[in-house]
Structure 1
């Protein structure tokens, strides 16, 4: 078999094969770069989910009762156990509540603790407080909050 380098059909075939090969290599490089980005994203999501499962999220809400009775509900909406839960009320009036159950040793996922608050003339309009807790991810996690009485 004799190759005729002058034959236009042969030259077009060689150019077509080289063009196809070049296009394939560029496309393959782009696909691999996209796959790497997707794999990195998926690994980050998995790591984020692992961290979320190790974290407790402790918050508080106020439930209004009748005639000056309020309940400050401290709850764990995270996916881990909160340990050594502490409630620090800033500028705390002594007469505001009857019993303080804090520090509380363990607050499981979706559990809560209620603190009865008794209002009367001269009670503050709102209270500010900090909630501190430990979980698997860290110690002395802190959330500051203000509730209107």
Structure 2
């Protein structure tokens, strides 16, 4: 064995080890790229979800006692978007809201974020302790939403 053979063998070992290190770094880079792609997917999904939430109104109602004998039903929008064509859907079982009071104020063209509307409520000894009220509205996306709210005394 000559010196040139030894040098050639060492060069072969060095190039083989460099090849192994390069393959490992490619594998590591590939894993990192896959994680980055997954992270971008998650960020895109979150952005779409937030954009959808920004176009969603959330209309609800609550019965408030003003004094000993006066009650008000407050209909309000807690969502970030404006609710359009807000309607109270009263059924025959309704004992709290007089239909004429509701017809005076509803349907509303729009209910802005944080805006509320008060209706006079009639609470008496025969009023059931809880009733259901349905509220329907349209989101800015044009989708019709409905919320069924339990009103308790």
> TM (normalized to structure 2)?
0.85
Counterpart check, 1:119 vs 2:123: yes
TM-align CA RMSD = 2.2
CA gap 1:20/1:3 in 2 versus in 1, 3 angstroms: farther
Per-residue Cα deviation, 1:3-60 (whole angstroms, up to 9, x for no partner): 7478553343122101111111101111110110111111111111111111111111
Instruction: Please name the residue that 1:82 is paired with.
Output: 83
CA gap 1:26/1:33 in 2 versus in 1, 3 angstroms: same
Instruction: Please name the residue that 1:43 is paired with.
Output: 44
Counterpart check, 1:25 vs 2:26: yes
Distance 2:22 2:4 in 1: 21
Aligned match for 1:134, one of 135, 138, 146 = 138
Counterpart check, 1:107 vs 2:111: yes
Ranges in structure 2 where 5+ consecutive residues have no aligned partner: none
Aligned residues: 147
Ranges in structure 1 where 5+ consecutive residues have no aligned partner: none
